[in-house]
């Protein structure tokens, strides 16, 4: 919210300044928990003078119309000028506007920006009408050392502010930004968010090293803490040994989510250390001893709750909890979480056929227990631990490591940096969870739209893509989608076949996003997906690689150009003649060696490419296509397609159509960019 607010203030004010002809040379915004600041350098002293020419009514128009125009333009009627245009003679008013002093304009702009400011959450206070994120106490607005005067909801602008609320609460009077920044620092306020963030990171790492420990990297949390303090002071505290038996993920989640503490590791074992880093917002006289003790007391209370959940949850097995999932709604159109579990079991069993080494019995067991930790007290308190706690409880219940690991990782991968499961059973359950979610939400028409994706379907699709490609799995996605939809026995918006095709198109878009950073061309993915015969992502990527390698060579680039030329000729002639030239080529009609050679080579290449494609020899497919280059080039160099003989012309157009058909049996070359 803070970062957005700093950007919004800068955007609103600069846009208004530009509109009034007062663009600064530079502008920078700053934000702390208690203040929002914009400094604009190099503003002119006043707006530029403006001369404007405004056209009025035609000469000879009624006096009332002419007088009205003169009044609206702010000039006497006798100062109107008659001017001839290509459309007649009109009255014109020449208006000279003297630029206003910058201070006057800034006063209006800043006041309006404050009134127009949009906060995700805002409030009113007292008798005022202004809505702001928190009660507004003061507004400092200074230009060239002088106050820019205006009033907002009873608050008058000025040149005074206050520093840190405890260490620098005295009033500060400022003359310019350098003075403002300097006096705030003297008042224990670091205005620059990046500086606060850097100090927290550096001091935390230094304290950890001094204690013989290692800081757990957490840039997101450090950024959040930097937004909570104006003068960061980093301290280190101790976790009571009695809590170290609780799973370390629980301790970290509690410290991070509730207390905003940074975690520390033992550098040798990489286990969580019984220490934590807290960032205070003041310099304590006792060096922070009481602050540390206070935070340790609060942490004991927090971790006592976590330990209570840990102890209570283990009193029941995951298996005993599964029945409770029937009372948890997954989606009003898709039933309960218990219904989803039943679908996961069936889908996991089917997926074992395509994941080498996956044991169906183990996969079904893992799917049966995968969601059971959702009804534990721990996951109810720490939702980010779902799956992770399931693993701990499964091991406590005596389940195998394979089952426990599958429970822990069935939500993965949840992002591009998240580790992807590689063991067979975890891969099966992770795929089943995502495929079920994708198929059924598409079935009830709950698809992502624009930037909205409430059910994280884009993330689920990318998860399936990563699981498939990183584990080299040949999955028949179309069949899996249809099976998932049919097994759910729900009311669908379309047929399972139509929904499966929509999902494949959705996957094509996600695949382009996933492969973009690897330099894979999106048009090649489109060209192969457009055939409609490929739903195996591993095969598809192999075909993309082979096609890409072919097209960067001379044979491929020339053949692509020939395809486009042949397609254009056929399209133009079909439009002109009102017929389709896709009939059988009559070999007896040819009268030149080049067309005979091309036809014979097309028949040969078609057979070779088809055979290589069936054997997944995609480089062989491209090698076959390469044999078309020479006869195609010769054909275009020596043959006149639009021959005088209608029968010969038709046969040659059919031959060009055959070139197109042969290439399009490999990929939709029309989708490939030059």
Does 52 score more than 90 pLDDT? no
Question: For residue 334, what pLDDT band results from cuts at 50, 70 and 90?
Answer: very high
CATH fold of 319-519: Hypothetical protein af1432 (1.10.3210)
In this prediction, residue 311 carries a pLDDT of: 95
Q: Is 59 exposed, middle or buried (0-12, 13-18, 19+ CB in 10 A)?
A: middle
Its pTM stands at 0.78
Q: What is the pLDDT of residues 115-140, one digit of tens each?
A: 989 999 999 998 888 999 999 999 99
In this prediction, residue 672 carries a pLDDT of: 86
Give yes or no for a contact between 521 and 591, defined as CB atoms under 8 angstroms apart: no
Write the CATH number of the domain with boundaries 549-671.
1.10.730.10
Question: For residue 72, what pLDDT band results from cuts at 50, 70 and 90?
Answer: confident
Does 96 score more than 80 pLDDT? no
State the DSSP string of 138-203: -EE-EETTEE---EETTEEEESEEE--TTTS-SEEE-SSHHHHHHHHHHTT----HHHHHHHHHHH
Residue 98: which residues within 8 A CB-CB, separation 6 or more? 49
Does 174 score more than 90 pLDDT? yes
Cα four-point dihedral sign 361, 362, 365, 367: negative
Tokens at 99, concatenated: 């630029």
Residue with tokens 């997926």: 351
In this prediction, residue 674 carries a pLDDT of: 64
Cα four-point dihedral sign 105, 107, 108, 111: positive
DSSP 101: B
Give yes or no for a contact between 138 and 150, defined as CB atoms under 8 angstroms apart: no
Q: Where are the alpha helices (DSSP H) in 370-455?
A: 377-381, 388-396, 401-409, 424-443
State the DSSP string of 250-264: HHHHHIIIII-PEEE
Q: What is the pLDDT of residues 562-612, one digit of tens each?
A: 888 888 898 998 899 898 888 888 888 888 899 889 899 989 988 998 898
pLDDT above 90: percentage of residues in the chain? 64
CA-CA distance, 370 to 350, in Å (whole number)? 17
CA-CA distance, 572 to 644, in Å (whole number)? 17
More confident call, 279 vs 636:
279
CATH 1.10.730.10 intervals, the chain? 549-671
Q: What is the pLDDT of residues 220-245, one digit of tens each?
A: 999 999 999 999 999 999 999 999 99
Q: What is the pLDDT of residues 508-523, one digit of tens each?
A: 889 888 888 777 888 8
Does 460 score more than 80 pLDDT? yes
More confident call, 543 vs 404:
404
Q: Residue 414: which of 428, 400, 433, 395 has the closest Cα?
A: 433
Question: For residue 75, what pLDDT band results from cuts at 50, 70 and 90?
Answer: confident
CATH 1.10.3210 intervals, the chain? 319-519
Does 532 score more than 80 pLDDT? no
In this prediction, residue 410 carries a pLDDT of: 96
Residue 104: which residues within 8 A CB-CB, separation 6 or more? none
């Amino acid at each position: 919210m803070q970062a957005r607010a700093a950007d919004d203030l800068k955007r609103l004010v600069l846009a208004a300044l530009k509109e009034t002809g007062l663009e600064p040379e530079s502008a920078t915004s700053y934000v702390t928990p208690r203040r929002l600041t914009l400094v604009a350098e190099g503003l002119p002293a006043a707006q530029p003078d403006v001369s404007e020419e405004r056209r009025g009514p035609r000469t000879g128009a009624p006096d009332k119309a002419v007088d009205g125009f003169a009044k609206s333009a702010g000039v006497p009627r006798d100062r109107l000028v008659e001017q001839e245009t290509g459309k007649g003679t009109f009255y014109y008013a020449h208006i000279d506007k003297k630029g206003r002093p910058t201070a006057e304009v800034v006063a209006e702009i800043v006041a309006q920006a404050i009134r127009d400011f949009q906060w995700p959450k805002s409030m009113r206070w007292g008798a005022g009408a202004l809505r702001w994120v928190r009660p507004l106490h003061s507004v400092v607005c200074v230009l060239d050392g002088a106050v820019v005067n205006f009033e907002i909801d009873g608050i008058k602008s000025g040149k005074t502010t206050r520093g840190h609320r405890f260490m620098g609460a005295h009033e500060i009077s400022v003359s310019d930004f350098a003075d403002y920044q300097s006096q705030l620092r003297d008042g224990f306020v670091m205005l620059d968010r990046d500086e606060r963030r850097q100090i927290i990171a550096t001091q935390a790492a230094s304290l950890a090293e001094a204690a013989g420990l290692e800081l757990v990297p957490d840039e997101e949390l450090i950024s959040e803490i930097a937004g909570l303090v104006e003068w960061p002071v980093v301290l280190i505290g101790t976790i009571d040994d009695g809590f170290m038996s609780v799973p370390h993920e629980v301790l970290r989640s509690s410290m991070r989510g509730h207390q905003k503490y940074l975690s520390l590791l033992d550098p040798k074992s990489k286990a969580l250390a019984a220490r934590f880093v807290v960032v205070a917002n003041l310099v304590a006289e006792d060096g922070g001893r009481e602050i540390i003790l206070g935070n340790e007391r609060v942490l004991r209370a927090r971790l006592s709750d976590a330990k209570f959940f840990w102890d209570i949850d283990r009193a029941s097995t995951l298996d005993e909890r599964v029945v409770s999932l029937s009372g948890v709604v997954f989606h009003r159109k898709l039933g309960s979480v218990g219904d989803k579990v039943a679908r996961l079991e069936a889908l996991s069993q089917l997926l074992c056929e395509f994941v080498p080494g996956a044991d169906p019995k183990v996969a079904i067991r893992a799917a049966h227990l995968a969601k059971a930790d959702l009804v534990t007290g721990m996951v109810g308190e720490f939702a980010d631990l779902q799956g992770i706690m399931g693993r701990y409880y499964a091991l406590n219940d005596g389940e195998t490591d394979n089952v426990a690991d599958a429970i822990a990782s069935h939500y993965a991968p949840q992002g591009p940096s998240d580790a992807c499961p590689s063991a067979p059973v975890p891969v099966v359950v992770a795929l089943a969870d995502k495929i079920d979610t994708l198929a059924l939400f598409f079935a009830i028409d709950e698809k992502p739209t624009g930037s909205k994706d409430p059910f994280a379907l884009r993330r689920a699709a990318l998860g399936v893509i990563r699981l498939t490609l990183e584990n080299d799995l040949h999955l028949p996605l179309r069949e899996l989608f249809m099976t998932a939809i049919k097994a759910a026995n729900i009311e669908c918006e379309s047929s399972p076949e139509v929904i499966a095709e929509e999902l494949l198109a959705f996957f094509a878009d996600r695949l382009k996003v996933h492969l973009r950073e690897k330099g894979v061309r999106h048009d090649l993915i489109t060209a192969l997906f457009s055939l409609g015969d490929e739903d195996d992502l591993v095969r598809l990527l192999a075909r993309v690689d082979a096609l890409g390698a072919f097209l960067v060579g001379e044979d491929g680039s020339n053949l692509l150009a020939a395809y486009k030329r042949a397609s254009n000729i056929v399209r133009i002639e079909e439009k002109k003649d009102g017929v389709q030239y896709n009939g059988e080529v009559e070999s007896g009609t040819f009268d030149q060696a080049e067309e005979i050679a091309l036809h014979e080579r097309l028949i040969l290449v078609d057979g070779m490419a088809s055979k290589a494609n069936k054997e997944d020899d995609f480089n062989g497919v491209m090698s076959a296509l390469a044999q078309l280059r020479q006869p195609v080039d010769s054909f275009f160099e020596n043959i006149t397609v639009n021959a005088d003989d209608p029968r010969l012309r038709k046969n040659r157009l059919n031959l060009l159509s055959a070139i197109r058909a042969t290439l399009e049996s490999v990929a939709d070359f029309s989708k490939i960019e030059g």
